[in-house]
Amino acid sequence: MNMEDIKIRDLKREDLKEATNLVMRLKKFNSEHDPLFNVSEELEKNVTEYLASAIKLETRDVLVADFKKKIVGVIMGEILTRPFYNPSKELRVTEIYLLPEYRKGGLGKKLLDSLIEKEKGKSCNIITVEFPSENLLAHKFYTGLGMRSILSIYGKQLKK
């Protein structure tokens, strides 16, 4: 696979099915790490609606990696406001998933760099990512890009 053959572009309506499948794979992968990430019975519907909303929203963007008309990767970022801190706007990567055979060749970084480039005009001066604490692949990927932990979220299931 040649990286020049992979085009990074905005999500289109006709990409929704393939992009939904990738995000569903990510969510199922997350559920393997921690039972607090147990996927919803309406996962496909919810992911499709969420991705579709990103096409219209100014504060959410989804890019896809297109390899010969096949979606092989997806990344989603949201613009968050940080009213108590400077910089006051943050680009938060909420989803990133590549098909396993497209990993370890620089495509994840290419997706991330493309999202950063797309958001440059929106006054974001910090980028953060969210992923399950037990996802060691994600931890290795992001620390390898010079990122560090800046926030911890702890949780437990409440009794019914």
**Overall domain count for the chain:** 1
Any domain includes 160: no
Residue 50 lies in a domain: yes
Q: Which of 66, 91, 80, 51 is nearest to 1 (CA)?
A: 66
Please indicate, yes or no, if residue 154 is contained in any of the structural domains.
Answer: no
Q: The whole model's pTM is what?
A: 0.90
Contact predicate 52/16, CB 8 Å: yes
Q: Is residue 100 part of a domain?
A: yes
Amino acid 33: pLDDT: 82
What does each of the 160 residues of the chain score in pLDDT, given as a tens digit?
Answer: 677 889 999 999 999 999 999 999 999 998 988 888 999 999 999 999 999 999 888 888 999 999 999 999 999 999 999 999 998 999 999 999 999 999 989 999 999 999 999 888 788 889 999 998 888 889 999 999 999 999 888 889 898 8
Contact 11, 55 (CB under 8 A): yes
Q: DSSP label at 119?
A: H
The pLDDT, as a whole number, for residue 34 is 86
Tell me the residue range of the domain where 114 lies.
3-144
155 occurs within a structural domain: no
CA angle 96–80–149, rounded 5-degree value = 60
Distance CA 142, CA 140 (A): 6
Residue 88 domain-assigned?
A: yes
- Has residue 153 been placed in a domain? no
Position 23 scores a pLDDT of 95
* Residue 150 counted as domain residue: no
Q: What is the CATH number of the domain that holds 39?
A: 3.40.630.30
